Structure 1
Amino acid sequence: MDISTLLSQAACKWPERIALHEAASQTTLTFAQLDRALSGVGQALDHLQVLPGARVALLADASVDYLLADYGCMATGRVRVPLDPALSADELVAQLQDAGAALLLFSEAYADVAQGLGVRALALQAVTQGVADDNVARPAQSPQALASLNYTGGTTGTPKAVMHRHASLCAVLQNIVMGRGAAVGDVLLNVRPLWPIAAVAVLAHVLSGGQVVLGGRFDGKTFIAQLTEYRVAFSSLVPTQLLRLLRETGSAPADLPLFKSLDVGAAALTGEVLEGSCSLFAERIGVLYGMTEAPWSCYLSPAQMAAVRAGGGSGEGVVGRPLFSAAIRIHQPDANGLGEILLGGPQLMSGYWQLDALSAKTLDNGWLRSGDLGRIDSDGLLRVLGRCKDIIRSGGKSVQPGEVEQHLMSHPGVQDVHVFGLADLEWGEQVCAAVVLDGSQPLSAQQLMDHCRAGLSRYKVPRRVYFIDELPRSHYGKVQKNRLLAALGVQP
Structure 2
Amino acid sequence: MEIHRPWLAQYAAHTPHTIEVPQVPVHQFLLDNAADHPDDIAICFNDIRMTYAELNQRVNRFARALQAAGIQKGDRVALILVNSPTYVITYFGILKIGAVVVNISVGIQGEELARCLNDAGARAVVSLDLFAQNIYAVIAATGVETVILHSVFGLEKELALGDNAPRPLIFADFIASADGDAEPDGRVAPRDVAVLQYTSGATGAPKAATLTHANVVASVYQADCWVGIQGAGNAAVICMIPFFHVFGMSACLLISVLKGYRMILMPRMDAMDMVSLTQTLADHRPISFPAVPSIWGALLTVDDATLRDHLSSIQVASSGGAPLPVAIHERFEQLTGRRIMEAYGLSEAGSTTHINPYPMGGPKGSVGLPVPGTDARIVDIETGERVCAPNEIGELTVRGPQIMQGYWQNPVLTASALRDGWLYTGDLARMDEDGFFYLVDRKDDLILSSGFNIYPSQVEAVLKAHPAVRDAAVIGIPDRIKGQTVIALVVLADGATENRKALLDHCRAQMPDYRVPKTFLFRDDIPRDPAGKMLKRVLRQEQSPTA
Verify same fold: TM over 0.5: yes
Ranges in structure 1 where 5+ consecutive residues have no aligned partner = 309-314
Deviations 1:318-375 (A, max 9, x none): 1111112222111132673321111110101111011101001101111111111112
Question: Partner residue of 1:312?
Answer: none
User: In the aligned structure 2, how far is the partner of 1:12 from the partner of 1:144?
Assistant: 25
Which of 346, 363, 379 in structure 2 is aligned with 1:331? 379
Letter in 1 for 2:37: W
Question: Partner residue of 2:433?
Answer: 378
Note closer, same or farther for the CA distance 1:70–1:155 as it changes in structure 2 (3 Å cut). Answer: farther
Q: Kindly indicate whether the alpha-carbon contact (under 8 Å) linking 2:64 and 2:184 is maintained by their aligned counterparts in 1.
A: no
How far the C-alpha of 1:283 sits from its partner, in A, is: 3.1
Question: Partner residue of 1:79?
Answer: 100
Deviations 1:442-492 (A, max 9, x none): 564344333333332232222222233332223322222344356668568
**Is 1:290 aligned to residue 354 of structure 2?**
no
**Is 1:355 aligned to residue 410 of structure 2?**
yes
Query: Aligned runs of 1:462-473 on 2, under 5 Å?
Result: 462-473=517-528
How far the C-alpha of 1:279 sits from its partner, in A, is: 4.1
Q: Kindly indicate whether the alpha-carbon contact (under 8 Å) linking 2:445 and 2:536 is maintained by their aligned counterparts in 1.
A: no
**Is 1:143 aligned to residue 166 of structure 2?**
no
Query: Aligned runs of 1:180-195 on 2, under 5 Å?
Result: 180-182=227-229, 183-195=232-244
Note closer, same or farther for the CA distance 1:215–1:293 as it changes in structure 2 (3 Å cut). Answer: same
Note closer, same or farther for the CA distance 1:57–1:25 as it changes in structure 2 (3 Å cut). Answer: farther
How far the C-alpha of 1:154 sits from its partner, in A, is: 8.4
Q: Secondary structure at the match of 2:510?
A: coil
How far the C-alpha of 1:140 sits from its partner, in A, is: 4.4
Note closer, same or farther for the CA distance 1:470–1:157 as it changes in structure 2 (3 Å cut). Answer: closer
**Is 1:254 aligned to residue 254 of structure 2?**
no
Q: Secondary structure at the match of 1:221?
A: helix
Deviations 1:283-325 (A, max 9, x none): 34222210011111111256333x64xxxxxx12x11111122
Q: Secondary structure at the match of 1:462?
A: coil
Which of 64, 71, 78 in structure 2 is aligned with 1:50? 71
Q: Secondary structure at the match of 2:210?
A: strand
Total equivalences in the alignment: 482
Q: Kindly indicate whether the alpha-carbon contact (under 8 Å) linking 1:297 and 1:323 is maintained by their aligned counterparts in 2.
A: yes
Letter in 2 for 1:45: L
Note closer, same or farther for the CA distance 1:268–1:251 as it changes in structure 2 (3 Å cut). Answer: farther
Note closer, same or farther for the CA distance 1:173–1:191 as it changes in structure 2 (3 Å cut). Answer: same
Higher relative contact order (CA 8 A, sep 6+): 2
Question: Partner residue of 1:388?
Answer: 443
Note closer, same or farther for the CA distance 1:401–1:279 as it changes in structure 2 (3 Å cut). Answer: same
Q: Which moved more, 1:155-164 or 1:46-55?
A: 155-164
Note closer, same or farther for the CA distance 1:170–1:136 as it changes in structure 2 (3 Å cut). Answer: closer
Question: Partner residue of 2:80?
Answer: 59
Which of 492, 505, 508 in structure 2 is aligned with 1:450? 505
Query: Aligned runs of 1:355-434 on 2, under 5 Å?
Result: 355-434=410-489
Deviations 1:121-177 (A, max 9, x none): 122335545566466565441111111111111896533111101110111121232
Note closer, same or farther for the CA distance 1:215–1:435 as it changes in structure 2 (3 Å cut). Answer: closer
Q: Secondary structure at the match of 1:49?
A: coil
User: In the aligned structure 2, how far is the partner of 1:132 from the partner of 1:259?
Assistant: 42
Letter in 1 for 2:62: V
Q: Which moved more, 1:437-446 or 1:332-341?
A: 437-446
Question: Partner residue of 2:295?
Answer: 241
Q: Secondary structure at the match of 1:77?
A: coil
Letter in 1 for 2:89: L
Note closer, same or farther for the CA distance 1:199–1:401 as it changes in structure 2 (3 Å cut). Answer: closer
Question: Partner residue of 2:207?
Answer: 160
User: In the aligned structure 2, how far is the partner of 1:39 from the partner of 1:439?
Assistant: 51
How far the C-alpha of 1:207 sits from its partner, in A, is: 1.0
User: In the aligned structure 2, how far is the partner of 1:272 from the partner of 1:423?
Assistant: 34
Question: Partner residue of 1:91?
Answer: 112
How far the C-alpha of 1:269 sits from its partner, in A, is: 0.9
Question: Partner residue of 2:28?
Answer: 5
User: In the aligned structure 2, how far is the partner of 1:478 from the partner of 1:280?
Assistant: 26
Question: Partner residue of 1:22?
Answer: 44
Q: Secondary structure at the match of 1:200?
A: helix
Which of 70, 79, 84 in structure 1 is aligned with 2:91? 70
Q: Which moved more, 1:368-377 or 1:180-189?
A: 180-189
Letter in 1 for 2:417: T
Q: Kindly indicate whether the alpha-carbon contact (under 8 Å) linking 1:56 and 1:81 is maintained by their aligned counterparts in 2.
A: yes
Note closer, same or farther for the CA distance 1:216–1:157 as it changes in structure 2 (3 Å cut). Answer: closer
User: In the aligned structure 2, how far is the partner of 1:69 from the partner of 1:455?
Assistant: 52
How far the C-alpha of 1:440 sits from its partner, in A, is: 5.9
Letter in 2 for 1:199: M
Deviations 1:240-299 (A, max 9, x none): 223333454469852144321222111111244444444455434222210011111111
Which of 278, 283, 305 in structure 2 is aligned with 1:224? 278
Question: Partner residue of 2:250?
Answer: 200
Q: Kindly indicate whether the alpha-carbon contact (under 8 Å) linking 1:266 and 1:289 is maintained by their aligned counterparts in 2.
A: yes
**Is 1:319 aligned to residue 367 of structure 2?**
yes
User: In the aligned structure 1, how far is the partner of 2:279 from the partner of 2:430?
Assistant: 39
Q: Kindly indicate whether the alpha-carbon contact (under 8 Å) linking 1:432 and 1:462 is maintained by their aligned counterparts in 2.
A: yes
Note closer, same or farther for the CA distance 1:337–1:17 as it changes in structure 2 (3 Å cut). Answer: same
Ranges in structure 2 where 5+ consecutive residues have no aligned partner = 1-22, 150-170, 381-387
User: In the aligned structure 2, how far is the partner of 1:252 from the partner of 1:282?
Assistant: 16
**RMSD over aligned Cα atoms:** 2.7
Q: Secondary structure at the match of 1:415?
A: strand
Letter in 2 for 1:74: L
Letter in 2 for 1:387: R
User: In the aligned structure 1, how far is the partner of 2:182 from the partner of 2:268?
Assistant: 38
User: In the aligned structure 2, how far is the partner of 1:67 from the partner of 1:452?
Assistant: 47
The two structures have a TM-score, normalised by structure 1, of 0.89
User: In the aligned structure 1, how far is the partner of 2:505 from the partner of 2:389?
Assistant: 29
User: In the aligned structure 1, how far is the partner of 2:181 from the partner of 2:81?
Assistant: 28
Q: Secondary structure at the match of 1:217?
A: coil
How far the C-alpha of 1:185 sits from its partner, in A, is: 1.9
